[in-house]
Amino acid sequence: MSKRVISPGGIIDGVVELPGDKSISHRYAIIAALAEGRSEIRNFASSADCQSTLECLRRLGVEIEKSDRTVRITGTGLNGWKEPRKPLDAENSGSTMRMMAGALAGQPFTSTLTGDESLRRRPMRRVIEPLRQMGAEIRSKDDRAPLEIRGGALHAIDYTPPTPSAQVKSAVLLAGLFADGPTTVRESICTRDHTEVALREFGATIDGTKSAIRIHPRPKLKAQQLTVPGDLSGAVFLIAAAMVLPESSLMLHNVGLNPTRARVLDFLVSIGAAVNIASVQMLHGELVGDVAIRHAPLKGGEISGAQVAEMIDELPMLAALGPFTENGIEIHDAKELRVKESDRIATMAEGLRAMGARVEEFADGMRVEGRTAGKLRGAKVDPQGDHRIAMALSVAALGADGDTTIRDAECAAVSFPEFFVTLDKLRGAAKA
């Protein structure tokens, strides 16, 4: 277990080119493996999660080459994957497990998806149920991994997930590639649409509305040359660091600004953050631009309802900002956080309390008191192996009195391996 000591103070100052977006990289890799021909994906995510997806695809007989941040994938066509000799290990990646389950449901063989201890604890019923409705045979114990998937001929369905989930939507759409007719997924709250965008880029036919997405079966997917935008979900931790430390100024180049992902920037502006966006362009169906941030006093605010689904990955970061706002941060309707890589509500609350924050925990969220509750103090904190908690508590530690020790800090590599190096460089540049 590695640990990292975060000393407070300094300022954030500099320009950053972010690693590729994790969510988009997963999708490009899986769809490229189902396409015909050799795809080249530049700025592919460096995260451990996306490497798990690549390794699963290799075990299915897909030829993959990597050089620096470029990945070349020789697709096999829709039914060219080979039956794996061993279980496919998604490690800590829920995205890998859920989306690969959708693609494997249409394959004419039996495969097993497993993961690390944390992933095997996470519920998979929400993806198992629609795939079973489509005709896949899936065996599991208590609706948790390992998942044994016997794929084959699938039926088209019209499906409304009980809980909004981009991963479940993606699994059903990927399975819909193999169905006997058009498959529809309906959403009461629009979740991130990277799968729809990527499938169109590769040649799939998708129509309908934002709330009812329909995919037509058996498209001839064609290899593509693609560049992955910078990861906004990783960028937010650097943005938060600039908001914690006075006099900070940060520029992030080529960040993904997909409207289903960028709500967090709108929220930050609404509570007083000084955020400017420039050089916006469309890249392979995805909105990309530069984001500039200057330190400014934050008022605080409440997050609930549809905002939760739109900012689910950013909620730990927003909770970490609570003690640095005037009125604190309050989160409701976020039960989903209880079944992420950790119980993110309990783990975040425990970490902030150890640092002296006043935190009230709810079944579906938390309230973190603002500056009037007093300054944070350095402490020893445990992110419970959760990458986003590790980064969020590191951000809070920048504004504490005294050093903070983050246990198992390297779990941040699950999504942002360069996080601590980047943070150190930005603070080092400011000191120089």
Question: Domains along the chain?
Answer: 3-19+229-431 (3.65.10.10), 22-227 (3.65.10.10)
CB proximity list for 91: less than 8 A, separation 6 or greater: 48, 49, 52, 115, 116, 119
Q: How many CB atoms lie within 10 A of CB 81?
A: 24
Residue type, 164: P
Dihedral (CA of 17, 71, 30, 119) sign: negative
Distance of alpha carbon 299 from the chain centroid: 27
pLDDT of 432: 40
Q: For tokens 């050093």, name the residue.
A: 403
Write the Ramachandran bin of 366: left for phi over 0, alpha for psi from -120 to 50, otherwise beta.
beta
What is the 8-class DSSP label of residue 93?
A: -
pTM: 0.93
Q: Quick check: 392 and 264 in contact, CB under 8 A?
A: no
The Cα 203–Cα 62 span in angstroms is: 20
Listed residue (5, 58, 52) closest to 25, CA to CA: 52
pLDDT of 288: 98
Q: Quick check: 233 and 415 in contact, CB under 8 A?
A: yes
The residues annotated with a catalytic role in the active site are: 313
Listed residue (90, 139, 132) closest to 110, CA to CA: 139
pLDDT of 430: 47
pLDDT of 1: 59
Alpha helices per DSSP H over 177-312: 194-202, 232-244, 263-270, 306-310
Which residues of the chain carry a pLDDT beneath 50?
Answer: 430, 432
The Cα 78–Cα 81 span in angstroms is: 8
pLDDT of 309: 86
What is the enclosing helix (H) or strand (E) of 347?
helix 344-354
Q: Quick check: 236 and 204 in contact, CB under 8 A?
A: no
The Cα 353–Cα 337 span in angstroms is: 18
pLDDT of 148: 98
Dihedral (CA of 222, 223, 228, 234) sign: positive
What distances in angstroms separate CA 384 from CA 87, 120, 377, 381, 408, one per listed residue?
A: 26, 15, 20, 9, 8
Task: Strand 404-407: give its sheet, edge to edge.
Answer: 3-6, 404-407, 380-381
What is the enclosing helix (H) or strand (E) of 390?
helix 387-397
What six digits make up the tokens of 255? Answer: 């960040």
Q: Quick check: 326 and 370 in contact, CB under 8 A?
A: yes
C-alpha angle with apex 415: 427 to 29, nearest 5 degrees?
Answer: 135
Write the Ramachandran bin of 385: left for phi over 0, alpha for psi from -120 to 50, otherwise beta.
left
Q: Quick check: 305 and 333 in contact, CB under 8 A?
A: yes
The Cα 144–Cα 153 span in angstroms is: 24
Listed residue (275, 280, 289) closest to 242, CA to CA: 275
What six digits make up the tokens of 231? Answer: 């990861």
pLDDT of 306: 87
Q: How many CB atoms lie within 10 A of CB 216?
A: 16
